[in-house]
Structure 1
Amino acid sequence: MSELQKAPLWLWLCIAAVLMLQGTWLFRNAQGRGKGRMAWFWGIWGLTGFPSPALCYLLFVVLPARRKARQER
């Protein structure tokens, strides 16, 4: 626990920035895809950790949508 207290401020700011960017990207991307993609769920989950939410979003939302679009062509 004392290691976390000794972490420099710039590290905490970088972590916060990465989580905010990831959460915002997930929310806006899910919202843009429409059709009930649970944008709020993805956005909030994106704020909690890195990179698991982004990887799950890519695996469960983006890739299946691309496969479906490819099959329809």
Structure 2
Amino acid sequence: MNNFRYPLEEVPLVWIVIIAVLLLIQGTWIFQDARRRGRFPWLWGLWGITGFPTPLIVYWFVVIRSNRRLR
């Protein structure tokens, strides 16, 4: 039924906390930057807390790089 290599009970609590903090920091930074640029902050912020680092990489290509080309 559970095909994970390690069950959740075996993952140290420290790693779970580190991952949670990392996702919250990433989501908060993306949200604040998107709000400053006026580019759908809630969408980017919510997507930013779902995974690492894909939302950050996509945000960089879609929002930040496109703003640099317009200047």
Fold conserved (TM > 0.5)? yes
Match of 1:6 in 2: 10
Deviations 1:45-70 (A, max 9, x none): 0010000000000000100101111x
Segments of 4+ moved more than 6 angstroms = none
Gaps of 5+ in 1: none
Which structure is higher in helix share? 1
Match of 1:61 in 2: 63
1:24 to 2:33 alignment: no
Question: Number of residue pairs matched?
Answer: 67
Residues of 2 paired with 1:65 and 1:2: CA distance?
42
Q: Percent identity?
A: 43
